[in-house]
Amino acid sequence: MTRGILLLCCAVFFSCQPKKKDNKEQTKSQQDTILKTITQEEHILKPIFESFDYLILGKKPADIMIIGRSKASDSFPIYNQLASYGDDIIMGKDVAYEDVKIYRKYTPKSSFEDFAVDIYEDELAEPDFSTNPDAENFVTRIKEGCAKGINFAGHYTLVSWGCGSPCQSGVIVDRITGKIYDGPVTSLGSEFKKDSELLIKNIGALDTETNLIDVCSYCEVTHEVWTGNSFKEVE
């Protein structure tokens, strides 16, 4: 992989940011780790494109551009479509997808704290399978999940299971009423908390060391908020 150059790029990026004095020891430790990782790399791709949102590594220089989906990619006949992420299409001239590594920079505008809620502390309702007939195919799994208590959005239990590779689905059980809602469908898991309505989909695509997302056809990381019966994307 290209962990060494990724960590180096991140080190350069963060070195340009203001640092607190009490973070000097932590920064030195991170730099030591980066240098150690780089020395272990045998094949390193070089940065060939960088913007606020993307970092692209390649074997040789290439002409890269990012266009919105509203623009027709066939308007650029000499460019190949390398990948897409959200509303963006990544285009390259004289370069193929297999010759590059494309990363989306993770710069979230929302956090779990932004959607904090109080946690329900009264008696918990059992799942009511009459409210969602499809959930009856997973009775044991849902009951086992509910036995562990509230784990999402103040008064819900989110239960998930595999639905193929890569795929996860599940349900959300209201522990006040027992009503069962269809849960999120993800490719690389999700992150959520018992005291927040925010859910981060496909969190497994994020490298927490570099804060980069490895762009692929199923790797889009999104922040979504539970509205009480469905999810609404916030970024």
Q: What is the pLDDT of residue 10?
A: 53
Running along the chain, 235 residues long, what does each successive block of 10 average in pLDDT? 53 46 47 44 75 92 88 75 92 89 94 98 97 95 97 98 88 98 95 98 92 91 96 90
Residue 7: per-residue pLDDT: 54
| CA–CA dist 13, 170 (Å, integer) | 38
pLDDT of res. 36: 46
Q: Rounded to an integer, what distance in angstroms lies between the CA atom of residue 64 and that of residue 199?
A: 32
Taking the C-alpha atoms of residue 58 and residue 60, their distance in angstroms, rounded to an integer, is 6
| Assigned token pair, 89 | 């299409």
Q: How far apart are CA 127 and CA 143, in angstroms?
A: 7
| pLDDT given for residue 217 in this prediction | 85
Instruction: Return the pLDDT at 12.
Output: 47
Q: Is there a contact between 181 and 174 (Cβ–Cβ < 8 Å)?
A: yes
Q: Which of 159, 172, 224, 178 is nearest to 198 (CA)?
A: 224
190-192 and 198-201 strand pairing: antiparallel
Q: What is the pLDDT at residue 6? A: 56
Q: With left for phi above 0 and alpha for psi between -120 and 50, is residue 129 left, alpha or beta?
A: alpha
> What's the DSSP call for residue 186?
B
Distances 150 to 13, 25, 27, 123, 158 between C-alpha atoms, Å: 39, 39, 37, 11, 8
What pLDDT was estimated at residue 15?
Answer: 47
Confidence (pLDDT) at 25 = 53
